[in-house]
Amino acid sequence: MQLGFVGLGKMGGNMVHRIHRDSDHQVVAFDRHPENVEKAEGRGATGADGLEDIVSKLDAPRTVWIMVPAGGPTQETVDRLADLLEEGDTIVDGGNSKWTDDQLRAEALAEKGINYVDVGTSGGVWGIDVGYCMMVGGPQEAVDRLAPILDVLAPPKTSEHGPGWARFGDSGAGHYVKMVHNGVEYGLMQAYAEGFDLFDKSDFEIDNAKVAHLWMQGSVVRSWLCELAAIAFEQEGNSLDNLTAHTADSGEGRWTIEDAMDKDVPTPVITAALYARFYSRGEGDFTGRVLSALRNQFGGHTMQTRAEEVADA
């Protein structure tokens, strides 16, 4: 099968590598950084110098997979491809788009007879070796045509539930499932972080990496995140002294909470986990100053000034 591929960053480049390493499918690849295209060519892909070049090198019906940042970059790429592709062709978005954007794109592309498939992709930089978990939405016919690629990218089938991908409905369903997946991920990460924080302040000399490795041996809290925690502590040290607390978010947690509010679904753990990330970036600094000032006003309690903070440092 032929596949056009746009975006050869950490995940996209690894996905193209896995496709060529593990199958006979042929990828025509483009990235705005020429060195990434050259790397893909070195792994068997056919390089392209732009979207027009990709389309010209694919036989109809064409399938082009987009792996670029969500929002403007994805929308711009979809719009440009929509002017180049023909009826019966398919655009696949494997990034982290919001599911409502998928629905709008699918509706607009359907007027031109172009299919739109959204693939929520989980696996990060490890996916090249262990495979990617893919949550798919889109027209059944287009998904069936993409299935040989999904089979290669997914982990091998290990149970009666099939390989590591599944279609959940029309366009938008894949990214909706991935959105909730990431919201759950926020909560799991926060719980682990709080537990290890307690170990860090314990009266005992707790080895965090040792704990994480032990929890992987039959514990009910064993998970891939726990395994990654062990690796992080081994690489960065038990106290993670070289790291700051700054933790970004890419939007999925916010979207999960917004949808939960619309549906009156309480999500206190996911919401608290997102707010913890805000605090990690200093977004609660003014809140803390107001609390300190109020406590001083009603009870005469001591406040720490900026000058005192510097003196203590």
Which are the catalytic amino acids? 178, 185
What angle (nearest 5°) sits at the alpha carbon of residue 53, between those of residues 3 and 88? 50
d(CA 37, CA 29): 7
Which element (helix H / strand E) includes 291? helix 285-299
Q: Is 167 left (phi over 0), alpha (psi -120 to 50) or beta?
A: beta
What angle (nearest 5°) sits at the alpha carbon of residue 24, between those of residues 21 and 29? 70
- Residue carrying the six token digits 């025509």: 28
Which element (helix H / strand E) includes 87? none
- Residues pairing with 133 in the sheet: 122
Residue 114: what are its φ and ψ, rounded to 5°? -100, 135
